[in-house]
Amino acid sequence: MKLLVDLGEPGEEYHDANVRGLQSERIQADEIWAFCYAKDKNLPDHMRGEPGVGSVWTWTALDSDSKLMVS
């Protein structure tokens, strides 16, 4: 774990110093579907509508030129 921290800190500093003010001309938006515990059709009745089970979606946005994820 220490190795990851030792390598990550300089990377974080570089990123913070150099990846600022990105001028995006094109943004590529996409979604990622996954399921937690079970797919919607297989969820037990008592779990339907509960947060965190069934279908989950993650939406992403990438700058098409630099391939950096937009936040």
Give the DSSP letter string of 28-66: EEEEEEEEESS-GGG--GGGTT-TTSEEEEEEEEEETTT
Q: Judge whether 71 lies within some domain.
A: yes
Q: What is the pLDDT of residue 52?
A: 86
Side chain identity, residue 30: D
pTM for the model stands at 0.59
Would you state the pLDDT for residue 33?
96
Domain count, the chain: 1
pLDDT per residue over 23-63, tens digit each? 889 999 999 999 999 999 999 999 998 888 999 999 999 99
pLDDT of the residue at 18:
83
CB 63 within 8 A of CB 24: yes
Containing domain of residue 55, as a range? 25-71
- Reference 66, options 5, 17, 25; nearest CA is 25
Residue 49 in domain: yes
The residues, ordered by sequence, that sit 6+ positions from 61 with a Cβ below 8 Å of its Cβ are: 27, 28, 29, 30, 69, 70
